[in-house]
Structures are given as C-alpha cells and as structure tokens.
Structure 1
Amino acid sequence: MKMDSLHLFSLCLLTALPTPTLQAFGEDRRPLINVSVKVSTPFSIALDNLQRQINYTFKNIGLLRRAMTHASYSEENNKALGLLGVNVIESSVALQLLSKNVDTSSKDLSDSIADASKVDGSCNADGVHLGLERIVRVSHKTNASAPSVICGAFRAMYGAIAVDSASSDEAGKIYLKVHSGIGNTAVM
C-alpha cells in the first residue's frame, strides 16, 4: 500500500494527538494506534545483507555497526573488536587443524595460523569475498579497499560475533564456515 504525503501527514498527526481516555470508567490509557517505522539506510541494508551472508543474526546490531567502522571514520570504531577477532580466527584455525591431525608440526600450525590472520593472506581475500570494502565506513581520505581496512573489518566482525553470542566458539564456527565457503557467502 503506497501512502501519499497527505495521508502520511494525517497518520502522523493522529499518532501525535493525545489519546482520548475513559479513565472515569476504568479503561486503560494505551494509544489506539501504534505505528512502528523502520528506517532503512544503505548502511543498514548492507548490514542486513552481511548477516544473511554469514548466516548469523546479531542480537545487538550495534556491535556489527562498530565492526564495520574504521578508526578513520569515528572514535567508536572496530579496533578492540578486531583484536578479539584475531584471537577467534587464530584459535579456530589451530583447533580445526589439530582436531584433524594432532601430530601436525608446530611449523605447519604456525604457518596456517599466520596465513589466516595475515593482512595480505586469506583475511583480506575472505573480506573481499564478503564485499566488506563496500560496507566498512571510512573517512573520505581512507581507501576502503586497502587490505588492512578490509582485514580489520573482517577480524572485527568475528570479535563482534563473539561478544554478541558471548562465545568465541560460536564466532569460530561461523569463521570456519565463511572461510571454507559454506552457506550464503556469495557477494551481495
């Protein structure tokens, strides 16, 4: 149903007017009309799409917003979440590798961990696969496609999932699915 501006104005006016009450008769005083409006911005739409891609819905979307905010854009940024995310990623890689082969050499383990968390390695590639360069908020002087920016947002996303779910294990499972290409991880 499409609303013209006159109808929208009338609806807004009706919701702003005091609600008649029948207090003398003991009736409740709740408004007769309850209107809920969700404002969609390009950024909020991108965050919704990203949640679908990674198959995780945030209880606190503010955490994902922060994960997709570079330090050049705001003092409320993804740096702290990125530190947690690095640990989530590295622990997940180590656990996966050692679960498959407990006799894995420390060198092979170290190399796998390094590749997963290296800015120019799979961290950037996975972030580009998700299209993070089109989502992360940066200042106009910062290149959103720079590997360090993409990798920072990628890491911070897993830190945000760990905080949101109160579980680094949950964040690690999602990382492994995204990294291995399972699920809806096609670029949207």
Structure 2
Amino acid sequence: MRTVWFVFAPLLLVQAISVKLKETSDTLEDELGYKFNDSTLLQDALTHSSYSRHNNGPLHLLGVSIIRASVYKHYLAKNRDATKEELEAMSSSLSSTTACARRASGLGLDKLIRADVPVDRKSDKVLAVAFHVLFGAIAMDGSADQAMSVFWKIKSSAVI
C-alpha cells in the first residue's frame, strides 16, 4: 500500500498546486478585468527567471513599452501641446519601480510570483518587473490597446 501512496502523492501535490494556481489566476484576472485566452502567458508573467527558463523576462520590455506608450497617449490626448520633457516626467513617475511595486502589491502579486527561495518576492524590483510584465502578457494575449486599458483601470483604482 505504501508503494501506491509514494506514486500518487506527487501527482496529488501537482494537482493541488494546479488548482491553487487556477484559483489565484482567476482572482487576479477578476482584479485586472481581463481574462487571458492563453493561460500560459499569465503563468510566464508570474514566473521569475530564478524559477524556470519559461519566465517573465521576454515580456518585461514589452510591458514597460506598453505602460510608457499608454501614458504618452493618455496625456497627449489631454494636451497636444505637452512637451517631450513633460511626457517623459509623467511616464517616469507612473512607471517608476516604486509606483509599479505599490500597484503590484495592491494586486497581490507578491503572493503569486513564482521564484526560487533566495528571491525576495516583496522587493520593489521584483514586484515592479512583475507589474510591467502583466501588460506585456496582456498585449501578447489580446492587444496593446487592451493592455493600455487595463493599465488605466488599475492606475485609477482606489484600492491600489
């Protein structure tokens, strides 16, 4: 009987982790107001490079670009005479490590990021990268416009 338990215990653990990941992914998608068509993009977005070679690194640059483009578009729509310096200052403020880490924490990303033990999931840098990556993942899953829309929803949220 013990042999059977040793064979099935790892499978049960994997199933339990999969169910928990699905529940937390659903909660995050509810917070974002965006449902991923490709759940592997969300899994990759929540995976630090220390954890797996399938991680959020490739989506990071896209996410940062989405946030910056979103800020530029938003503020240019309000003021077509805005200077490059004004747009850069606004973009830097809204995409800073501190601002993005605060929003990531508000979304509970510190509890969702998969990383190896030495990585501090609550550090501003890790949280900010995870926040940036979400928008790269949304852009890849849907569109840049959808990612921009989700960014402004989160930015405007009273919770974050």
TM over 0.5: yes
Match of 1:105 among 62, 74, 83: 83
Partner deviation per Cα, 1:13-50 (whole Å, 9 max, x = no partner): xxxxxxxxxxxxxxxxxxxxxxxxx9753222111100
Offset of residue 96 of structure 1: 0.3
Q: Match of 2:150? A: 174
What amino acid is aligned across from residue 139 of structure 2 in structure 1? A
Q: Which runs of 5+ in 1 are unaligned?
A: 1-37
Query: 1: CA distance between counterparts of 2:120 and 2:19?
Result: 21
Aligned pairs, number: 145
Q: Which runs of 5+ in 2 are unaligned?
A: 1-14
Match of 1:95 among 60, 73, 76: 73
Match of 2:115 among 121, 124, 138: 138
Q: How does 1:46-125 map to 2 (within 5 A)?
A: 46-120=24-98, 122-125=99-102
Q: Match of 1:30? A: none
Partner deviation per Cα, 1:98-128 (whole Å, 9 max, x = no partner): 10011122222111111122212x2111111
Q: Which protein shows a greater Rg?
A: 1
Question: Which protein is richer in helix relative to its size?
Answer: 2
Query: 1: CA distance between counterparts of 2:138 and 2:155?
Result: 15
In percent, how many aligned pairs have the same letter? 32
SS of residue matched to 1:169: helix
User: What TM-score comes out, normalization by structure 2 length?
Assistant: 0.85
Q: CA RMSD in A?
A: 1.6
SS of residue matched to 2:87: helix
Offset of residue 88 of structure 1: 0.4
What amino acid is aligned across from residue 130 of structure 2 in structure 1? A
Greater than 4 Å deviation, 4+ residue runs: none
User: What TM-score comes out, normalization by structure 1 length?
Assistant: 0.73
Partner deviation per Cα, 1:50-81 (whole Å, 9 max, x = no partner): 00001000000110000000011111100111
What amino acid is aligned across from residue 181 of structure 1 in structure 2? S
